[in-house]
């Protein structure tokens, strides 16, 4: 019996999420703009999903990838915002051990999925602008579906070992997580054993996803820019650039905030903790809020379909 107990990992029944350490009094008020942003994200992304699903003319690669992005944003924001608001408003910071691992899994896996979808959208624009006559044959429905499944599978397979490794570790008596959600390295810091494998694997996952996806995106847009600058038609040039600008406006907030959060968590020890946690929260909330607004406003075909949908509702 004693040998069995010695091999069983010691895990706390629950953790305590602090919210934003150093801003305990202010976080009650911070929750209000966060709540508004979450409401916009949920409403905007649901509208996108409904419009793309009901309008057969939008069943094209660009809009199908946008639907994947909208679904990813819904899962990503919902996996952490409701609990975060409960912490900010009611001080309800306790979260079960398994629930914490589940939240960690959804936050990190769907962050990887979002990056993959943005990469797929860049590839779609590349084929649409550089090979317009072959675009529909290259990115057919089976190919789009396969790309979506691969991106989802990649996120799940890469993040699952993080949760598995944590589940096998012994945790200390200290169970307070200085964060507003179960972030991987914040949970790793509570482990009493050697955590080098956890830390190294976490860094490798981030680098593998970010380096590959950003490389594909940069190469795609470099090729697109070369083709667009050679176009003689100013109308087609403007249309191509306008579509790409919408995508770049979506990419920048996602990768800039993610990169800042990653670097400060590991190397920016001089940066106040509340700044790091605020940026980490905004990284998971700003893209889901902005994505439907950017695409809804800048994409004429999508904007027109949304207007038609609301006109039908009034009738």
Q: What's the CATH code of the domain at 85? A: 1.20.1070.10
Instruction: Report if residue 3 sits inside a domain.
Output: no
The share of the chain scoring above pLDDT 90, in percent, equals 57
Instruction: Report if residue 48 sits inside a domain.
Output: yes
Instruction: Report if residue 156 sits inside a domain.
Output: yes
DSSP codes, the chain: -HHHHHHS----SEEEE-SSTT-TTTHHHHHHHHHHHHHHHHHHHHHHHHHHHH-GGG-SHHHHHHHHHHHHHHHHHHTTHHHHHHHHHH---EEEHHHHHHHHHHHHHHHHHHHHHHHHHHHHHHHHHHSTTTHHHHT-HHHHHHHHHHHHHHHHHHHHHHHHHHHTS-B-S--EESSSS--HHHHHTTBSS--HHHHHHHHHHHHHHHHHHHHHHHHHHHHHHHHHHH-S-HHHHHHHHHHHHHHHHHHHHHHHHHHHHHHHHHT-TTS-HHHHHHHHHHHHHHHHHHHHHHHHHH-HHHHHHHHHHHHHHH-
Tokens found for residue 158: 């890469």
Tokens found for residue 265: 């968590």
Instruction: Report if residue 58 sits inside a domain.
Output: yes
Handedness of CA 69, 75, 77, 80 (dihedral sign): negative
Query: Of 159, 144, 148, 156, which Cα lies nearest the Cα of 69?
Result: 148
State the chain's mean pLDDT as an integer. 88
243: containing domain: 14-313
Q: What is the CB neighbour count within 10 angstroms for residue 296?
A: 18
235-255: pLDDT as tens digits: 777 777 777 777 787 788 778
Question: What does the alpha-carbon distance between residue 35 and residue 41 come to, in Å, rounded to a whole number?
Answer: 10
Domain count, the chain: 1
Question: What does the alpha-carbon distance between residue 213 and residue 123 come to, in Å, rounded to a whole number?
Answer: 10
Contact by Cβ (8 Å): 167, 9: yes
Contact by Cβ (8 Å): 283, 258: yes
Instruction: Report if residue 9 sits inside a domain.
Output: no
Contact by Cβ (8 Å): 222, 248: no
Q: Is 248 exposed, middle or buried (0-12, 13-18, 19+ CB in 10 A)?
A: middle
Question: What does the alpha-carbon distance between residue 237 and residue 311 come to, in Å, rounded to a whole number?
Answer: 32
Instruction: Report if residue 299 sits inside a domain.
Output: yes
Question: What does the alpha-carbon distance between residue 286 and residue 232 come to, in Å, rounded to a whole number?
Answer: 37
Per-residue tens of pLDDT for the chain, all 315 residues: 444 444 566 788 999 999 999 888 899 999 999 999 999 999 999 999 999 998 888 899 999 999 999 999 999 999 999 999 999 999 999 999 999 999 999 999 999 999 999 999 999 999 998 898 899 999 999 999 999 999 999 999 999 999 999 999 999 888 899 999 999 989 999 999 999 999 899 989 988 999 999 999 999 998 988 888 887 777 777 777 777 777 787 788 778 777 777 777 666 667 888 888 988 898 889 999 998 888 877 777 888 777 777 777 665
40-56: pLDDT as tens digits: 999 999 999 999 998 88
């Amino acid at each position: 019996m004693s040998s069995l107990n010695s091999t069983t990992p010691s895990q706390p029944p629950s953790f305590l999420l602090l919210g934003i350490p150093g801003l305990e009094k202010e976080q009650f008020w911070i929750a209000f703009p966060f709540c508004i942003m979450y409401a916009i994200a949920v409403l905007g992304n649901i509208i996108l999903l409904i419009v793309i699903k009901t309008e057969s003319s939008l069943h094209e690669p660009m809009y199908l990838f946008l639907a994947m992005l909208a679904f990813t944003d819904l899962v990503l924001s919902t996996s952490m915002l409701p609990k975060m608001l409960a912490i900010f408003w009611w001080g309800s910071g306790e979260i079960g051990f398994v629930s914490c691992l589940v939240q960690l899994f959804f936050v990190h896996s769907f962050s990887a999925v979002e990056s993959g979808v943005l990469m797929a959208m860049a590839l779609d624009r590349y084929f649409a602008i550089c090979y317009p006559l072959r675009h529909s044959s290259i990115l057919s429905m089976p190919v789009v579906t396969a790309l979506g499944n691969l991106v989802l599978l990649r996120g799940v397979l890469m993040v699952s070992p993080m949760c598995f490794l944590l589940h096998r570790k012994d945790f200390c008596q200290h169970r307070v997580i200085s964060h507003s959600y179960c972030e991987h390295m914040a949970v790793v810091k509570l482990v009493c054993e050697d955590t080098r494998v956890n830390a190294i694997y976490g860094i490798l996952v981030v680098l593998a996803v970010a380096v590959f996806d950003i490389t594909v995106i940069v190469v795609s847009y470099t090729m697109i820019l070369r083709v667009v600058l050679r176009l003689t038609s100013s109308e087609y040039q403007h249309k191509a650039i306008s579509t790409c600008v919408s995508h770049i406006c979506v990419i920048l907030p996602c990768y800039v905030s993610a990169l800042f959060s990653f670097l400060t968590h590991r190397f920016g020890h001089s940066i106040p903790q509340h700044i790091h946690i605020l940026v980490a929260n905004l990284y998971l909330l700003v893209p889901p809020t902005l994505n439907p607004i950017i695409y809804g406003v800048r994409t004429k075909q999508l904007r027109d379909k949304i207007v038609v949908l609301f006109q039908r509702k009034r009738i």
